[in-house]
Amino acid sequence: PPSHPAWPWPAFIAHRGGGRLAPENTLAAIRAGAAAGFSMVEYDVKLSGDGMPFLLHDDTVERTSNGRGLASELDWRALGRLDFGGWHGPDFAGEPAPSLYAVARCTRARGIHSNIEIKPTTGHDTATGAVVAREAARLWAGAALPPLLSSFSEAALEAARAAASELPRALLIEGPVPADWRARQQGLGCIGLNIDVQHADEAAVRDILGQGATLAVWTVDDPGQARTLFGWGCHAVFTDELHHVRADAPGLAR
Ligand code: G3P
Ligand code: MG
């Protein structure tokens, strides 16, 4: 894939840290992503009940831990007692949910770039966008490349811009790319869109790229599909299949 000045990050991004190799949104996942040769990881960040930015995809902890309840109603001490690894397999039993601080240390020490997806618990969009952006600006100060912030939540992206306007942002799109995507992306001061592979048809991709926006596509788990998307000019793909969709896969080398 060609490099593009508007997209200074790598073209291959490990989804939720390490895709299917490890429990999503943990340090073990990020280490697995790095070990698989990925130099950029995506992960989901929200706030605990007492305001700690930490990694979790869902509103609730049930699916990925041995606990119960909404992230926004559990304080950081209570979250710290939960096992976020055992659901994936015994090798990961006891793996905690990491704070954004721990993730900044882990990724920066390894030279791994970050896409921080701001994933507010329902109703907490503004506070989550503000805290995550403010802390990201502090934690990545002086980094060779800034983290890319992204969100489905336009309120979170507005709050992120108000808190740390210098950090680049991308608008995540759920479902088909809407006709007014350009106005929404530009109105939020975002560099581009991150879209679902199910809706990344050639017309949508060429429209987005032709209007000068950046485009990353999630999740691309087939190397042939990645090749097609790069052929159309896509800047990056997120993958859960780290052993198949990677920079050294046949035909996918930069
Ligand atoms: O940021 C890309 C992708 O992670 C968005 O979907 O549900 O996996 O967070 P989801
Ligand atoms: Mg995500």
pLDDT tens digits, residue range 47-58? 999 999 999 999
Check: CB of residue 33 under 8 Å from CB of residue 242: yes
Helices 27-35 and 100-110, packing angle to 10 deg: 20
Whether residue 254 is predicted with pLDDT greater than 90 in this model: the reply is no
Give how far Cα 164 sits from Cα of 70, 133, 160, 227, Å. 27, 6, 6, 35
Q: From the alpha carbon of 216, which atom of ligand 1 is closest?
A: 2
Residue range 72-128, pLDDT digits in tens: 999 999 999 999 999 999 999 999 999 999 999 999 999 999 999 999 999 999 999
Q: For the CA atoms of the chain, what is the radius of gyration?
A: 17
Question: Which residues touch 183 (CB under 8 Å, ≥6 apart)?
Answer: none
Handedness of CA 143, 150, 33, 29 (dihedral sign): positive
- Residue closest via CA to ligand 1's atom 5 equals 218
**Mean pLDDT value across residues 17-46:** 98
Residue range 160-198, pLDDT digits in tens: 999 999 999 999 999 999 999 999 999 999 999 999 999
**Mean pLDDT value across residues 236-251:** 93
Domain layout of the chain by residue ranges: 12-239
**Mean pLDDT value across residues 13-30:** 98
Average pLDDT over all residues of the chain: 96
Query: Is 113 annotated in the active site?
Result: no
Kind of pairing between the strands at 113-118 and 169-173: unpaired
Check: CB of residue 238 under 8 Å from CB of residue 249: no
Predicted TM-score of the model (pTM): 0.97
| DSSP 8-state code for residue 69 | S
What is the structure's pLDDT at 228? Answer: 97
**Mean pLDDT value across residues 132-147:** 97
CATH of region 12-239: 3.20.20.190
What is the structure's pLDDT at 1? Answer: 54
What is the structure's pLDDT at 253? Answer: 61
Could you say which of 15, 88, 113, 124 is catalytic? 15
Among 210, 192, 197, 177, residue whose Cα is nearest residue 241: 197
Q: Is the CB of 240 under 6 A from ligand 1?
A: no
Residue 254: how many other CB atoms lie within 10 Å = 11
Whether residue 5 is predicted with pLDDT greater than 80 in this model: the reply is no
Whether residue 248 is predicted with pLDDT greater than 90 in this model: the reply is no
Q: What is the 3-state secondary structure (H, E, C) of 133-164?
A: HHHHHHHCCCCCCCCEEEECCHHHHHHHHHHC
What is the structure's pLDDT at 147? Answer: 98
Q: From the alpha carbon of 117, which atom of ligand 1 is closest?
A: 1
pLDDT tier for residue 27 given thresholds of 50, 70 and 90: very high
Could you say which of 4, 57, 199, 244 is catalytic? 57
pLDDT tier for residue 2 given thresholds of 50, 70 and 90: low
User: How far does residue 218's CA lie from ligand 1's centre (Å)?
Assistant: 7
